[in-house]
Structures are given as structure tokens and as C-alpha cells.
Structure 1
Amino acid sequence: MSGPDIVDRFDVEALLRRFYGRALTDEVLAEPFAELRASGLDAHLPVMCDFWETVLFGAGLYRGSAVTAHRDVHQKTPLSDRHFVRWLTLWNDTVDTMYHGLAADRAKVQAARMAWAMHRRLTGDDAPELDAFVGR
């Protein structure tokens, strides 16, 4: 049963910890996340919290480029639509398990938009499975 809505950084961090706890050991995502797993989630968590606080609440904390960060991953382990669909599936499941409300819905919508755009920018290709998943 999901709880209340996402309202602050504490909620964002709890969501990210649970999500990445699953993603880092997922059979589809384990290889792309190998470097993050090796360096440890705690080192990267403040950046991800800044990113999601900015996406969800307009906090203006994130100043980096998500595409640049993922381009490095893509060069080491080519990311396919299969990776993005799995990432979104785990993300949506985790959000739905923990939260419900406008910010939780926004987290899922924004994740789908970002996954679709990230895939296009990294691969230059359409992905029918991803397009269907995000409703394009």
C-alpha cells in the first residue's frame, strides 16, 4: 500500500534509496549500473536528490547534464530500449509502492519523458517498445 505524496528531500531520498536498491541488482540493469554499484550509492545520492527535487519541486538545485552523465554509461555499456523500459518499470513500481498524489504522478510522467528523450539523444533511434511504454 502506498503512502502519502512526495513532499520533500527526505521523501525523494527514500524513493531513490529504495529504487536504486532494486535497480543496482536487477538482472537487466546490473551491468549499466556496475560503476555506480562499485563507487557506492551514497556518493551519488546528493546529486540525484538535487536532480529530482528540481524536477518535482522546481528547487533549482541541479546544475549538471543528465544526458552527459548517461552518455558516459552508454559508452561503456550501450543502453537500449530494454534498459529504459526496465528502468521505468522499476521506477513506477517503486513510486506506486511508496507514494501517491500529484508529485508521485509527476515523478512517473517526468521519468517517462526523460527516458524517451534520453534514449533518443543517446542512440538516435526510435524504440517501439519504449514508445509504447511511454504512450508515444
Structure 2
Amino acid sequence: MSERSTDAKRTDILGRDEIVVLVDSFYDRVRADDVIGPIFNEVVELDWSAHLPKMYAFWQTVLFRDGGFRGDPIGKHARLVPMTDMGRDKFDRWLELFSATVDDLFEGENAEHIKRCAADMANVIHSKINGVADPRVDSSKLNDEQRARYAKYRGSRS
């Protein structure tokens, strides 16, 4: 594993180097996980040497807007629905592993932001591929930051 020692002071996610550490550590956990590991290891049979650089670019784009990611995460996940269960429990487990990895390695504004982005993505992808309502649309479940982002998004689409 590429995790940092728990004795080391955790810093924030500052750039590509930290994204690589996060992604590598996260997918080490995913591959070993009893709940979602089989999806990656047996159903998809990922080529990790190709997948990991895409994930570095994806998260760098999410966090810093400069990773150059181009892709279709919803489409990629939707193709799995006929092959395996892609229910809420799988997305909750993914998010639990992702958040725990971030918390074990980093702390700071970007670390918190990437966890919120991951939660938003898990909700969107789950709702789109399973044809269920996106829980973010229920305004009673939005936090202040999500309300502000949603209002800004809605304003830009008018």
C-alpha cells in the first residue's frame, strides 16, 4: 500500500502528487474489499495500469480543474448494471472507503471538498444508472454548500 504512516502529519491535497497517493491508496482498499472488490476484480477485470492514470486525471480535474479528464463516468457505470448489482449499498461502500482513505491521509479544505464531491458523484451516478430520484434534489437534504452550488448551477442554465 502507498499509505502514509499514521505518525506523519497530514497535510491537505495540494496537487497531482497527493491525488496519486489518494487514488493508489483508495484502489488498494477497493481491490481488497469484500463488498465492491469483486466488481473491480472479477466483473470489470480492470486494466489497472490504464485505469489509475484516468482516475488521477479525473480527481485532479474535479479538485483543481486542470487534470484534463475527458470521459463518461455515468455511461461506464451504466454498462455494469446488467452484469452485477449496482445498488445503493455498493455506492455507500465506495464512498465509505473513499472518505476513510482521504481522512487517513489528508486534512484540510481540499480534503473536505473532495469528499463532498465524491458524495455528490455517488448520488448522481447511482440515481442515473438505477433510474431513481437523486437525493440532492430534496432541498431538505442539502447542506448550505450544496444549496449554493445548486442555486449557482440553476442560475447559469436560465
Q: Report the TM range for the smaller structure's normalisation.
A: 0.7 to 0.9
Pair 1:16 & 2:23 matched: yes
Q: Does 1:122 align with 2:152?
A: no
Name the counterpart of 1:58: 65
Contact 1:80-1:119 at 8 Å conserved across structures: yes
2:153 corresponds to: none
> How far does residue 70 in structure 1 lie from its aligned partner after superposition?
1.3
Query: Are 2:61 and 2:68, in contact at CA under 8 Å, matched by a contact in 1?
Result: yes
Judge conservation of contact 2:43–2:84 (CA < 8 Å) in 1. no
Which residue of 104, 121, 126 corresponds with 1:97? 104
1:80 has 2:79 as partner = no
Counterpart AA for 1:42: S
In structure 2, stretches of 5+ residues that fail to align are 1-7, 144-158
Q: Percent identity?
A: 35
The equivalent of 2:77 in structure 1 is 70
- TM-score, normalised with respect to structure 1: 0.85
Cα RMSD, aligned residues only: 2.4
Aligned CA distance change for structure 1 residues 48 and 36 (closer, same or farther; 3 Å): farther
Query: What TM-score, normalized by structure 2, do the two folds share?
Result: 0.74
Tell which deviates more after alignment, 86-95 or 33-42.
33-42
Count matched residues: 132
Aligned-residue offset at 1:8: 1.0
**Higher radius of gyration, 1 or 2:** 2
